Amino acid sequence: MIARLPLSEQLVEFRRVLSQNETLIEVLSRVESMRLPNWYLTAGCLFQTVWNVQTGREPSAGIIDYDVFYFDDRDLSWDAENLAIEAATKVFEGMDAEVEIRNEARVHLWYEEKFGVPLAPLESTEAAIDNFASTTCCLGIRGVEGQPWRIYAPHGLSDVFNLVIRPNPVLAPHAVYQAKTARWKQQWPELEVMPWPCPDAR
Protein backbone atom coordinates (compact mmCIF):
# COMPACT_ATOMS: atom_id res chain seq x y z
CA MET A 1 0.00 0.00 0.00
CA ILE A 2 1.45 3.34 -1.11
CA ALA A 3 0.27 5.19 2.00
CA ARG A 4 2.47 2.96 4.18
CA LEU A 5 5.63 3.61 2.21
CA PRO A 6 8.31 5.94 3.58
CA LEU A 7 7.63 9.55 2.63
CA SER A 8 10.57 9.60 0.20
CA GLU A 9 8.99 6.71 -1.73
CA GLN A 10 5.53 8.28 -1.55
CA LEU A 11 6.95 11.40 -3.20
CA VAL A 12 8.33 9.32 -6.06
CA GLU A 13 4.96 7.60 -6.47
CA PHE A 14 3.16 10.95 -6.26
CA ARG A 15 5.12 12.29 -9.18
CA ARG A 16 4.64 9.07 -11.14
CA VAL A 17 0.88 9.20 -10.64
CA LEU A 18 0.56 12.91 -11.50
CA SER A 19 2.63 12.36 -14.64
CA GLN A 20 -0.16 10.16 -15.98
CA ASN A 21 -2.36 13.25 -16.30
CA GLU A 22 -1.11 14.68 -19.59
CA THR A 23 -3.12 17.88 -19.16
CA LEU A 24 -1.56 18.52 -15.76
CA ILE A 25 1.94 18.04 -17.15
CA GLU A 26 1.20 20.41 -20.02
CA VAL A 27 -0.12 23.06 -17.62
CA LEU A 28 2.95 22.63 -15.43
CA SER A 29 5.23 23.08 -18.43
CA ARG A 30 3.47 26.16 -19.78
CA VAL A 31 3.05 28.02 -16.50
CA GLU A 32 6.77 27.76 -15.86
CA SER A 33 7.32 30.07 -18.84
CA MET A 34 5.31 32.82 -17.11
CA ARG A 35 7.94 33.23 -14.39
CA LEU A 36 5.33 34.04 -11.74
CA PRO A 37 6.80 34.68 -8.27
CA ASN A 38 6.45 31.79 -5.80
CA TRP A 39 3.96 29.93 -7.99
CA TYR A 40 2.45 26.49 -7.49
CA LEU A 41 0.05 24.32 -9.41
CA THR A 42 -2.29 23.35 -6.63
CA ALA A 43 -5.70 22.21 -5.38
CA GLY A 44 -8.04 19.73 -7.04
CA CYS A 45 -6.04 18.85 -10.11
CA LEU A 46 -3.43 17.23 -7.87
CA PHE A 47 -5.36 15.17 -5.34
CA GLN A 48 -8.11 14.36 -7.84
CA THR A 49 -5.56 12.95 -10.27
CA VAL A 50 -4.37 10.65 -7.47
CA TRP A 51 -7.96 9.65 -6.67
CA ASN A 52 -8.57 8.85 -10.33
CA VAL A 53 -5.50 6.68 -10.70
CA GLN A 54 -6.13 4.95 -7.36
CA THR A 55 -9.69 4.05 -8.41
CA GLY A 56 -8.96 3.04 -12.01
CA ARG A 57 -10.40 6.12 -13.71
CA GLU A 58 -8.86 8.22 -16.43
CA PRO A 59 -6.27 10.48 -14.74
CA SER A 60 -8.04 13.71 -15.69
CA ALA A 61 -11.63 12.53 -15.09
CA GLY A 62 -13.86 14.96 -13.21
CA ILE A 63 -11.22 17.67 -12.86
CA ILE A 64 -12.95 21.00 -13.40
CA ASP A 65 -9.94 23.30 -13.57
CA TYR A 66 -6.23 23.67 -12.93
CA ASP A 67 -5.39 26.25 -10.26
CA VAL A 68 -2.16 28.22 -10.32
CA PHE A 69 -1.38 30.29 -7.23
CA TYR A 70 1.38 32.87 -7.11
CA PHE A 71 2.40 35.52 -4.58
CA ASP A 72 3.26 39.09 -5.51
CA ASP A 73 2.66 41.75 -2.85
CA ARG A 74 4.36 44.57 -4.75
CA ASP A 75 1.07 45.67 -6.30
CA LEU A 76 -2.22 44.53 -4.76
CA SER A 77 -4.44 46.11 -7.39
CA TRP A 78 -6.86 44.06 -9.45
CA ASP A 79 -5.28 45.52 -12.58
CA ALA A 80 -1.91 43.96 -11.71
CA GLU A 81 -3.44 40.54 -11.11
CA ASN A 82 -5.50 40.84 -14.26
CA LEU A 83 -2.35 41.35 -16.31
CA ALA A 84 -1.20 37.89 -15.19
CA ILE A 85 -4.63 36.43 -15.96
CA GLU A 86 -4.62 37.94 -19.44
CA ALA A 87 -1.08 36.69 -20.05
CA ALA A 88 -2.24 33.21 -19.03
CA THR A 89 -4.96 33.33 -21.66
CA LYS A 90 -2.25 33.42 -24.30
CA VAL A 91 0.05 30.93 -22.55
CA PHE A 92 -2.69 28.31 -22.28
CA GLU A 93 -4.31 29.00 -25.62
CA GLY A 94 -5.43 25.83 -27.37
CA MET A 95 -5.55 23.70 -24.25
CA ASP A 96 -8.72 21.75 -23.53
CA ALA A 97 -8.63 22.78 -19.87
CA GLU A 98 -9.56 25.76 -17.72
CA VAL A 99 -6.56 27.25 -15.96
CA GLU A 100 -7.17 29.77 -13.17
CA ILE A 101 -4.39 32.16 -12.11
CA ARG A 102 -4.67 33.89 -8.71
CA ASN A 103 -2.37 36.20 -6.74
CA GLU A 104 -2.60 34.97 -3.14
CA ALA A 105 -1.25 38.28 -1.84
CA ARG A 106 -4.69 39.74 -2.67
CA VAL A 107 -6.92 37.04 -1.14
CA HIS A 108 -7.58 38.95 2.09
CA LEU A 109 -9.19 41.71 0.05
CA TRP A 110 -12.13 39.54 -1.03
CA TYR A 111 -12.14 36.43 1.20
CA GLU A 112 -14.55 37.66 3.88
CA GLU A 113 -17.12 38.84 1.35
CA LYS A 114 -17.08 35.43 -0.37
CA PHE A 115 -16.76 33.07 2.62
CA GLY A 116 -18.05 35.09 5.57
CA VAL A 117 -14.90 35.01 7.70
CA PRO A 118 -12.01 37.49 7.74
CA LEU A 119 -8.53 36.62 6.55
CA ALA A 120 -5.34 38.40 7.56
CA PRO A 121 -2.95 39.18 4.70
CA LEU A 122 -1.03 36.06 3.71
CA GLU A 123 2.75 35.94 3.67
CA SER A 124 3.31 33.37 0.93
CA THR A 125 1.67 30.97 -1.48
CA GLU A 126 2.42 28.17 0.97
CA ALA A 127 0.39 30.01 3.63
CA ALA A 128 -2.55 30.12 1.23
CA ILE A 129 -2.33 26.37 0.62
CA ASP A 130 -2.22 25.80 4.38
CA ASN A 131 -5.74 27.26 4.63
CA PHE A 132 -7.53 24.82 2.34
CA ALA A 133 -10.68 23.32 3.89
CA SER A 134 -9.13 19.84 4.03
CA THR A 135 -5.60 18.85 5.01
CA THR A 136 -5.76 16.27 2.23
CA CYS A 137 -5.95 19.12 -0.25
CA CYS A 138 -2.95 21.06 1.05
CA LEU A 139 -0.69 20.31 -1.89
CA GLY A 140 1.33 22.28 -4.39
CA ILE A 141 3.90 21.46 -7.05
CA ARG A 142 6.05 23.43 -9.39
CA GLY A 143 8.68 22.47 -11.88
CA VAL A 144 11.93 24.11 -12.76
CA GLU A 145 13.36 22.94 -16.04
CA GLY A 146 16.02 20.31 -15.57
CA GLN A 147 15.40 19.98 -11.83
CA PRO A 148 13.13 17.79 -9.66
CA TRP A 149 9.70 19.13 -8.87
CA ARG A 150 9.26 21.21 -5.74
CA ILE A 151 6.44 19.53 -3.82
CA TYR A 152 4.69 21.27 -0.94
CA ALA A 153 2.71 18.80 1.19
CA PRO A 154 2.59 20.03 4.82
CA HIS A 155 0.31 17.18 5.93
CA GLY A 156 2.03 14.45 3.97
CA LEU A 157 0.54 12.24 1.28
CA SER A 158 -0.91 9.24 3.13
CA ASP A 159 -4.48 10.57 3.21
CA VAL A 160 -4.29 11.43 -0.48
CA PHE A 161 -3.34 7.88 -1.42
CA ASN A 162 -5.81 6.41 1.10
CA LEU A 163 -8.71 8.45 -0.37
CA VAL A 164 -9.34 10.05 3.03
CA ILE A 165 -10.59 13.64 3.27
CA ARG A 166 -9.69 15.18 6.61
CA PRO A 167 -10.97 18.60 7.75
CA ASN A 168 -8.65 21.55 8.24
CA PRO A 169 -10.63 23.95 10.47
CA VAL A 170 -8.08 26.76 10.55
CA LEU A 171 -10.00 29.20 8.37
CA ALA A 172 -12.60 27.83 5.94
CA PRO A 173 -16.09 27.56 7.48
CA HIS A 174 -17.71 24.20 8.13
CA ALA A 175 -20.17 24.90 5.31
CA VAL A 176 -17.34 25.14 2.79
CA TYR A 177 -15.99 21.75 3.89
CA GLN A 178 -19.47 20.23 3.67
CA ALA A 179 -20.10 21.59 0.19
CA LYS A 180 -16.75 20.50 -1.19
CA THR A 181 -16.82 17.01 0.30
CA ALA A 182 -20.40 16.44 -0.88
CA ARG A 183 -19.40 17.32 -4.43
CA TRP A 184 -16.28 15.15 -4.30
CA LYS A 185 -18.12 12.21 -2.75
CA GLN A 186 -20.61 12.27 -5.59
CA GLN A 187 -17.81 12.10 -8.16
CA TRP A 188 -15.60 9.69 -6.19
CA PRO A 189 -17.89 7.56 -3.95
CA GLU A 190 -14.88 5.59 -2.72
CA LEU A 191 -13.75 8.56 -0.62
CA GLU A 192 -13.87 8.44 3.16
CA VAL A 193 -14.92 11.82 4.55
CA MET A 194 -13.85 12.50 8.11
CA PRO A 195 -16.27 14.58 10.24
CA TRP A 196 -15.72 18.21 11.13
CA PRO A 197 -14.20 18.25 14.62
CA CYS A 198 -16.74 20.64 16.12
CA PRO A 199 -20.21 20.51 14.52
CA ASP A 200 -21.22 23.87 15.97
CA ALA A 201 -18.09 25.72 14.89
CA ARG A 202 -18.76 28.78 12.76
CA distance 54 to 167: 21
30, 40, 148 from 24: Cα distances, Å: 10, 12, 16
**pLDDT tens digits, 1-25:** 676 777 788 899 999 999 999 999 9
CA distance 22 to 59: 8
Please state whether the predicted TM-score (pTM) of the whole model is above 0.75. yes
Mean residue pLDDT across the chain:
92
**pLDDT tens digits, 35-53:** 999 999 999 999 999 999 9
pLDDT at 8: 80
Q: Evaluate whether 160 touches 47 at the Cβ level (below 8 Å).
A: yes
Selected residue with higher pLDDT from 140 and 198: 140
User: Measuring CA to CA, which residue among 32, 152, 172 is closest to residue 107?
Assistant: 172
**pLDDT tens digits, 51-74:** 999 999 999 999 999 999 999 999
CA distance 40 to 31: 9
User: Measuring CA to CA, which residue among 61, 149, 73, 58 is closest to residue 108?
Assistant: 73
Where are the chain's structural domains? 2-193
